[in-house]
Amino acid sequence: MGFNARRDFESGLFYAISNKDNTYSISRVTLQGTMTQQECIFCAIAAGHAAAEILYQDDEITAFRDIQPVAPTHVLIIPNQHIESIRTATAGDELLIGRMHAIARRLAEDEGIDQSGYRLIINNGSDAGQVVHHLHLHLIGGQPMRYPMG
């Protein structure tokens, strides 16, 4: 059984659409607070159990287009292992987080936004706008960015 997900920004909910034996069901999935790897939509995407437009994937990192982009280029870069946030990352995750940034640079080149400019964002916690509690780096570009942020 596979599933596809859609995010509703106002409610902070994901809607999971699953298909089993040609019967479709829709369920709301709350993504606030701590979640397990089995409940995490990003873990499902990294494992190939949820649909996404994958732009890059290796044993440690997956990058895919955001389902609700805020700019012409909006890519999410995630560790394949479940790390809730930058706050919960450990010293052992430093190289992985560095690789996420290096992959963002390569994807910016692939997307043709490396010369005009782009923004890299990691939201940490609800006040910062973190909706999915799985560490992810936003690569946003393809248009002038608004300033000031916040």
Instruction: Show the 3-state SS of 40-59.
Output: CHHHHHHCCCECCCEEEECC
Which amino acid makes up residue 7? R
Q: Where do we find the tokens 């990691």?
A: 122
Q: Which two tokens stand for residue 58?
A: 């290796």
Q: Which of 82, 133, 134, 136 is catalytic?
A: 136
Helices (H), 17-124: 41-46, 94-111
Decide if 136 is catalytic. yes
- 134-149 burial code (b ≥16 CB/10 A, e <16): bbbbbbbbbeeeeeee
Q: Which among 22, 66, 24, 30 is positioned nearest to 45, based on CA atoms?
A: 66
Catalytic residues: 136
